[in-house]
């Protein structure tokens, strides 16, 4: 949640962005509808340190956000106009420094029976069920349903560079009635532990999940070169184990990365900082399903996120044709930027 000083800091950031924008003049980049459209205003005092923004996959025009660093262990569903619709709190979870939120398909341990969604731990799949029940469950166990999505919460912040392990929480995304405001607590969540390779420590606020490879990708945050390292690991690990984040060798010239987002098909990516963003737009590629890491090796486009008080949130719509931004503090606007034709 640290942020650069205004004034001189703003001049430095704008100079960096100006330099980066001319380094690759041959890069094909789309036009962006600047200065964007103010589509919402978040006035609820519950959302005062918003860090991270993710578009819901099952609720139309809804975004999920959270408060960082010692805030409540809750995620908040916002209508596109900024109205708080739903507060989902993870009972017993610790918010050491929640910084990122992503929506992705749940893994195959979620099953659907009679329109209800259940989480089935692997160790329970082999006991206390009949052979018939087992066959029925296994049909579902090996399938994913397009309507079963989870909220993944990145407890990945480390301003003091002292954490041996970072965490990712997973909880089922609920269907929301936009006509009512609701608050709910749940103990049906899981937490997964990860460590950077070589026992290194990093601060980070940007998390991406590859919808096809099921890779977890972390972009680190620093105000000094080389600014941002990119790490990856398998997302779906067993509880009570530690996944090792592997250095991809990618270093982004992106100072103070504060959030990241990906389109539903994984082919459009944006990583923001306080005063701009790197965009990897939809392009003709050798593979129709390039991975996040493949795309981050390509040349980026420099786009605006406007001037915000402390912007630590960015989201893409499902098609990757628009991105949305928001800022910490109360009474902050949601801005929409449409990605236009090339």
Q: State pLDDT tens for residues 164-182.
A: 999 999 999 999 988 889 9
Q: Which residues contact residue 296 at a Cβ distance below 8 angstroms, ignoring those fewer than 6 apart?
A: 217, 230, 248, 250, 252, 269, 280
Q: What is the pLDDT of residue 49?
A: 92
* Closest alpha carbon to 10 in 289, 296, 273: 273
In sequence order, the β-bridge partners of residue 151 are: 103, 171
* Residue numbers of the chain with a pLDDT score lower than 50: 5-8, 18, 20-25, 112-115, 122-144
Are 221 and 204 within 8 A, CB to CB? yes
Q: Token match 């160790």: residue?
A: 123
Looking at residue 71, its pLDDT comes to 86
pLDDT number for residue 107: 83
pLDDT in the model for residue 101: 98
Classify residue 61 by its DSSP letter.
T
Query: From start to end of 201-319, where are the E strands?
Result: 204-209, 215-220, 228-234, 242-252, 259-262, 269-273, 276-280, 301-303, 311-316
Q: What is the pLDDT of residue 253?
A: 95
Q: What phi and psi, each to the nearest 5 degrees, are found at residue 12?
A: -60, -45
pLDDT value of position 22: 46
pLDDT at residue number 123: 43
The rounded distance, in Å, linking the Cα atoms of 10 and 275 is: 8
Task: Report the pLDDT value the prediction gives residue 113, as an integer from 0 to 100.
Answer: 47
Q: Please tell me the predicted confidence (pLDDT) of residue 269.
A: 98
Gap between the Cα atoms of 106 and 87, Å rounded: 20
């Amino acid at each position: 949640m640290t942020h650069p000083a205004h004034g001189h800091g703003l001049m430095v950031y704008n100079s960096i962005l100006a330099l980066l924008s001319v380094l690759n003049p041959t890069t094909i980049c789309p036009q962006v509808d600047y200065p964007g459209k103010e589509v919402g205003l978040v006035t609820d005092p519950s959302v005062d340190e918003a860090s991270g923004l993710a578009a819901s996959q099952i609720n139309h025009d809804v975004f999920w956000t959270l408060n960082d660093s010692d805030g409540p262990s809750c995620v908040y569903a916002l209508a596109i106009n900024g109205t708080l619709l739903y507060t989902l709190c993870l009972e017993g979870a610790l918010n050491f420094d929640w910084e990122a939120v992503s929506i992705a398909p749940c893994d195959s341990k979620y099953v659907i029976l009679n329109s209800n969604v259940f989480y089935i731990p692997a160790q329970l799949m082999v006991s206390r069920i009949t052979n018939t029940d087992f066959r029925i469950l296994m049909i579902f166990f090996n399938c994913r349903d397009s309507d079963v999505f989870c909220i993944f919460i990145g407890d990945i912040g480390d301003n003091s560079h002292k954490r041996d392990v970072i965490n990712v929480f997973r909880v089922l995304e609920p269907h929301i009635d936009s006509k009512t405001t609701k608050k709910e607590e749940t103990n049906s969540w899981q937490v997964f532990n990860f460590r950077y390779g070589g026992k290194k420590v990093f601060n980070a606020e940007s998390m991406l999940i590859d919808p096809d490879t099921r890779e977890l990708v972390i972009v680190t945050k620093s105000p000094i070169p080389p600014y941002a390292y990119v790490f990856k690991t398998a997302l779906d690990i067993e509880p009570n184990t530690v996944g090792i984040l592997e250095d991809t060798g990618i270093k982004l010239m992106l100072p103070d990365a504060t959030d990241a987002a990906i389109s539903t098909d994984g082919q459009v990516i944006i990583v923001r900082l306080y005063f701009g963003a790197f965009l990897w737009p939809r392009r003709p590629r050798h593979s129709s399903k390039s991975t996040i890491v493949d795309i981050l090796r390509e040349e980026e486009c420099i786009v605006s996120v406007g001037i915000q008080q402390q912007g630590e949130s960015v989201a893409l719509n499902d098609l990757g044709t628009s991105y949305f931004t928001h800022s910490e503090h109360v009474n902050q606007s949601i801005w929409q930027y449409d990605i236009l034709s090339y």
